[in-house]
Amino acid sequence: MNSMPGKMEAQPQDGPWPKLEPIRTGLRGRCPRCGQGHLFQGFLKLRDGCEVCGLSYDFADPADGPAFFVICFGCVPAVTFALLLEIWLSPAWWVHLVTSLPFLIVTCVLPLRPLKGWLVCSQFFFKAGEGRIAGG
């Protein structure tokens, strides 16, 4: 083990790893295998691999999944709110600036990272891969 307190030494990749639920690891942006390493390098950029267990994140391909979920469940209600506010009250532009814009940011930008983490961890958990045609 590492003699420095607070530092963890990388463990071998073939060690016995507990099966961690994607909802627990993904929403927190943690490694899907060990649950301790970081998944993201920036806001949405995935790291090359886990700094704790050494898992390579090459398997991860969330594609447009996070954006699709945000559009369906975040953008539609936020834009509906802004449009209804305009239709019913016809407020000044600054009212939209202080109501609609923050609502759009909260419902459209903030959920992207946890959703992407959940999708990546789900791919690892369920061993997802490219579809293959049987018998071809």
Domain boundaries, the chain: 22-125
The pLDDT value given to residue 130 = 75
For residue 30, give the 3-state DSSP assignment. strand
Q: What is the per-residue pLDDT across 60-85, written as a single tens digit (0 to 9) for each?
A: 888 899 999 999 999 999 999 999 99
pTM of the model as a whole: 0.78
pLDDT at 57 over 60: yes
Residue at token pair 């627990």:
24
Report d(CA 54, CA 77) in Å as an integer. Answer: 40
